[in-house]
Amino acid sequence: MLDRELQSALMNWSVLHSGHETRRPYIGLSQIGNCELAQYECYMGGERVTPGQHLRSLISFELEAALIGRLRQIGLYVDTGESICLYDGLVQGHTDGVLRGGDVLEIKTLPREAYLPQNGRLSHKDYFQVQAYMHYTRRRCAQVVYLARDTGMLLAIGARYHAPTGERIAERVERLVEAIREVRAPACNCGRCGNGKRDG
């Protein structure tokens, strides 16, 4: 076998099985902290994905599975992820698991250890994601485990459910659902992709 054939076969399989969805037929709760206009446009038109993005998605899923395997072996991973399905499937989410004690598990892989949160606080996007998961699964605590792909360094950051944030998320979800059903783009609320104002 030629090396080019081997590389081509591996690349083609990896892209085909990366798990990266170029167009989701639903609003993903993992992105609920993003701008409403950006989410609407992604739902309506999908996104262009490079082979590199497919490869990064695949390695992230593989590392996530390996990390869940570790958590199982040490007795901390007690149940598989929970699926969230709202508005007849138009809004969906899926947690990465349930930890001993009932905490929601979310796993994030990052390219470099230098990108790990330095202040012990979740990013806006990650915070909104786990708050959405807790709101809809009625769980009260979550753990986000970060894994740096370059060094294998791990960092866990916990979060407690914050009811006012959960309600804001539910309102945002309702606005997005209404916008999609009416085929009416919502206002930008990040201040970067339109002329709307920023809404944390």
Higher pLDDT, 32 or 193: 32
Residue range 20-25: average pLDDT?
A: 66
For residue 58, CA distances in Å to 34, 41, 90, 101, 169 come to 23, 24, 25, 30, 29
- Does residue 3 have a pLDDT over 80? no
Q: Which residue has the tokens 């593989």?
A: 62
Instruction: Answer yes or no: is 186 within a domain.
Output: no
Instruction: Answer yes or no: is 141 within a domain.
Output: yes
State residue 195's pLDDT score.
45
Instruction: Answer yes or no: is 8 within a domain.
Output: no
- Does residue 80 have a pLDDT over 50? yes
The token pair that represents 177 in the structure block: 């659902």
Q: State the CATH number of the domain containing residue 39.
A: 3.90.320.10
Instruction: Answer yes or no: is 191 within a domain.
Output: no
Residue range 32-51: average pLDDT?
A: 85
What is the extent of the structural domain holding 64? 19-85+92-181
Higher pLDDT, 185 or 23: 185
- Does residue 50 have a pLDDT over 80? no
Instruction: Answer yes or no: is 33 within a domain.
Output: yes
Higher pLDDT, 20 or 96: 96
Number of domains in the chain: 1
Instruction: Answer yes or no: is 138 within a domain.
Output: yes
Q: Which of 73, 21, 22, 11 is nearest to 47 (CA)?
A: 22
Instruction: Answer yes or no: is 46 within a domain.
Output: yes
Using CA atoms, how far apart are residues 106 and 123, in angstroms rounded to an integer?
Answer: 13
State residue 21's pLDDT score.
63
Instruction: Answer yes or no: is 193 within a domain.
Output: no
Question: β-strand 77-79 against 91-94: which pairing, if any?
Answer: unpaired
